[in-house]
Structure formats: structure tokens, C-alpha cells
Amino acid sequence: MSTEAQKESSGLRTWIHFLRYGLPVFAVMAAIFAVSQMSPATIDDISAFDTASGLLGRYTGDIAHFAEYFVLSVLILRWILAVKVPPGTARPDVVLVRSSAQKAVALAVLYGISDEAHQWFVNGRSVELLDLLVDGIGAVLGAAIYLSVYQAWRLQKSGGAGRSPGQDAAAPAELAPNSKANQGHDDE
């Protein structure tokens, strides 16, 4: 394959990757922005909001904030992991995965801060610290649940249900940190 063809193929893969992982993140961000742009009277006129209000009562807004940022952090984490963890990696580095979750939560909370600041300029809306707290809780729980599912899926995919957390799928048992072969040896 020529260098020119490789560049075209790489560019196409980059676009497909963005459409698959990045676009959903920006779509949720745009939806959050669009709802934040609405006045409370406009939101009250939406029939879906009326139905939700009838079921959830006064907590409808809090549950909506929670759900928005839960989904946002899941999608951000999914995108970060798709970029950071190469395909076919049986057991990605635990530190990398956890730091990716922390970055996803931080980005979702920063977007929540910008969303609350945006509402300062919308007629009839105000900055609510409780909303920001609910956004943060949604982001943390979204990342935590996605991370748990992701790690369980990776473990099942690698066929490693019986391995200890520190043992790599490709490492022979005698090289595993807690194996019988390594007991009694000094690591000085």
C-alpha cells in the first residue's frame, strides 16, 4: 500500500472513530445546552416534561440533571478508553483506566459548571449549586458504573475469570506476582 493510500485509510478511520465515539459526546452536550437555553415556561409547555412531572413530582429537574451528566460522563469515558486502550488489549493498565474515569468525570463536571454559568444569562433561569452537585453525582456514578461494566467485559473477553487482579493474561503463572514460584524469593 502506498503512503498516500495509508494516509487516506488512516483519515477515514479517524473520521469513523470520531463519528462513533466523539459525536455522541457532542450531541449530548448540544442537547444539554439547548435545554439550558429554554426558559422555564417553555420547558413547562413540553408534554414530556408534564408526564415526567406527574410521575416524579418536584424531583423531575434533579433527576433530569442526574441523567444528563450520567450519560455525558459515560460517553466521555467511552471515548477516552477508545483512544487510550488499543484494540485487542486483553487487560489494560488499571491506572490508565482509572485516570481515564477521573478525566471523564472532571470534563463532565466542567461542562456542568459552564452550563450553570450559561444559565446565568438566560432569562428566567439562575445558577443553582444544587444542580451542579446533582450533575457531579451523576457524572461520578456514570463513570463508576461504566468502568465496572467495562472491566467485567474485558475480563470476560480475555477469559480471565480466575486470575488475580495483578496477573496479566499473557503472563505465565510462574511470573505472576503472587504465584508459588515467586514465594520465598527476595526481591532486593
4-54 residue pLDDT tens: 655 566 778 888 989 999 999 999 999 999 988 887 666 555 555 555 555
Q: Is the pLDDT of residue 75 over 80?
A: yes
Instruction: Kindly give, in sequence order, each residue whose CB lies less than 8 Å from that of residue 101, ignoring residues fewer than 6 positions away.
Output: 77, 143, 144, 146, 147
Distance in angstroms (rounded) separating the CA atoms of residues 40 and 20? 33
Highest mean pLDDT (candidates 78-87, 97-106, 126-135, 147-156): 97-106
Q: Which residue would you say has higher pLDDT here, 181 or 64?
A: 64
**Residue 125 carries which side chain, given as an amino acid letter?**
R
Contacts 24+ apart (CB under 8 A), 179-183: none
Give the CA dihedral 10, 14, 15, 20, nearest 10 degrees: 140
DSSP letters of 22-62? IHHHHHHHHHHHHHHHS-HHHHHH-HHHHHHHHHHGGGHHH
Distance in angstroms (rounded) separating the CA atoms of residues 140 and 144? 6
The domain locations on the chain are 3-159
Average pLDDT over residues 77-105: 88
111-157 residue pLDDT tens: 999 999 998 888 888 888 999 999 999 999 999 999 999 888 887 87
